[in-house]
Structure formats: structure tokens, C-alpha cells
Amino acid sequence: MDRTFLMVKPDGVQRSLVGDIIARFEKKGLKMVAGRFERLPEERVMQHYAEHVAKPFFPGLKAYIMSGPCFLMVWEGKDVVAITRAMIGATNPREAAPGTIRGDFALEIGMNVIHGSDSDATAEREIAIHFQPDELAEYRRIDEPFLYE
Ligand code: IDP
Ligand code: MG
């Protein structure tokens, strides 16, 4: 099954959006297979955002991501990367469609509530940065026969 890495960022945690965000993915039919609440160490922030370290917004991004605890997750489902990116919405919440997480819950690009992997390759890389293989649970949702035809 396809997997992705999702993370409620510190603003989402502080604003008590973790439960609402998890509920959206659960109701969609996706399956959470790992979750951890933690303040990210600098080393993993640098690895996670390696593609952005040289950009002008990186110092602000790093300070924001390390400003408080995040909720890190791995989710499974067919085409989970594309599905969750669509549910998250555009990077800039002002451009994110209503009904998406960023469209409904955020106002500024520098505080956009949630991270989601943008490709299968990125997902594999990000899961490996944040989780050990034995932290991923293997189980079936009892409603799977009513989710996949
Ligand atoms: P994504 O999170 O939608 O994949 P990316 O372009 O990968 O967007 O950027 C990673 C994160 O960096 C964004 O979610 C946002 O928190 C932050 N970011 C991106 N562009 C800017 C910017 O122009 N100003 C401030 N923060 C930015
Ligand atoms: Mg990205």
C-alpha cells in the first residue's frame, strides 16, 4: 500500500487542530500507521527541509518548525500522496481552496498548519528521516471491504 508522511506543524498543535486534521484523513478512509508527538531536533529539521535550506525563508521556517511540538504521522492508502496533498491544499493558505485543511484553517504561508510529502519518493525519504521501520504498525481497518472495490 502507498504511504505518506504528514505532520501537524506547531501552529496546528497550539491551535488544537490535531484532532480535526486526523479526523479528516480517518473519515476519508486512509489509515494511520504511525504517530509521534515531539519537538523536532535541529538535525532532522535540516534533513527534512534539505531542499529549502538555501532559500531566504529558511531561517524563519526553521524557527517556526522548532517553536513547539509537532504531531508526526505516517498514513497509508491507495494514492495516499496525491489524496492528502489535495486535502491539504495550496502551500499559501490564501490560495488554498475552501474545504482543504490550509484553506479552512490558515491565513499565512509561514504558518500553514500541516506538512505532507509531495511524491512517493519524498514520502519514502521523509518517513525514513522521522520513523524507524518497526514503528509502523501493520493492521487492517475493519471497513476496508467498504473502502476499496
Ligand atoms: P509545501 O509544504 O506545500 O510542500 P514547500 O514549497 O515544500 O511547500 O515549502 C515548505 C514549507 O516552507 C511550506 O509549507 C511553508 O511552511 C514554508 N514556505 C514555503 N515558501 C515560503 C515562503 O515564501 N515564505 C515563508 N515560508 C515559506
Ligand atoms: Mg514540500
d(CA 76, CA 4): 7
* Ranges of the chain whose pLDDT falls below 50: none
User: What's residue 92's pLDDT?
Assistant: 98
Instruction: Tell me the torsion sign for CA atoms 114, 115, 118, 119.
Output: negative
Domain boundaries, the chain: 2-39+70-137
Q: What is the pLDDT of residue 57?
A: 97
Most informative mutation of 4, 49, 61, 108 for ligand 1 (most atoms within 8 A of CB): 61
* Cβ 90 under 6 angstroms from ligand 1: no
Does domain 2-39+70-137 bear CATH number 3.30.70.141?
yes
pTM for this one? 0.98
